Amino acid sequence: MPETTPPLPTPSHTVGPFYGYALPFPDGERVAPAGHPERITVHGHVRDGEGAPVPDAVLEFWQAAPDGSLAGAPGSMRRDPVTGGFLGRNGTDFTGFGRVATDADGHYALHTLPPGNAGAPYISVCVFARGLLHHLFTRVYLQDGPDPLLDALPAGRRATLVARPEENRTYRFDVRLQGEDETVFLEFR
């Protein structure tokens, strides 16, 4: 056999589009129990740099409970081997975690409770999409207000993190991956 040299390390690869099989799970968009009187909906579209919808993105959401606690219900990440659902989701307990895939039009919807963190209330978001070498982190603020992150941004950039209130306890938050009105993304070191 001819002698071969060991392969060189490879750079990061894009992360999709293979989400529809393994990452979304039943009721991943339902962080709050159906019919809860304080339940809110956050929805919007994920769009690329040209404004086209991203039909195969996955968004993960984490948030504080209405009382400000960060514990969530235990077991929200345990997988049921039969249904693919998560054993910790009983439809009653608030977990603080959701995972939602976009539809063919790039639309998503999350049903949750208002976060009770101090300052301007927000929900943390992680975006996975084709063409990304690494996932992106951002926040959805349900109202503008005093917050160290928001306060550090110019008004136009700040607006990309604040959801627009609509009727019936619903908020609109679009994620723009690049281009005009690109969403502010966070870098953790």
Is the pLDDT at 85 greater than 80? The verdict is no
Q: What is the pTM of this model?
A: 0.81
- Whole-number Å distance between alpha carbons of 164 and 152: 20
How much is the pLDDT for 70?
Answer: 82
For position 171, what pLDDT does the model report?
98
* Residue 152, helix vs strand vs coil: coil
> Quick one: DSSP state of residue 182?
P
Q: Looking at residues 6-27, what average pLDDT do you find?
A: 60
Which pLDDT band holds residue 96 (cuts at 50, 70, 90)?
confident
What integer is the mean pLDDT of 144-168?
94
CA torsion sign for 174, 175, 176, 180 is positive
Instruction: Report the range out of 2-6, 118-122, 146-150, 171-175 with the highest average pLDDT.
Output: 171-175
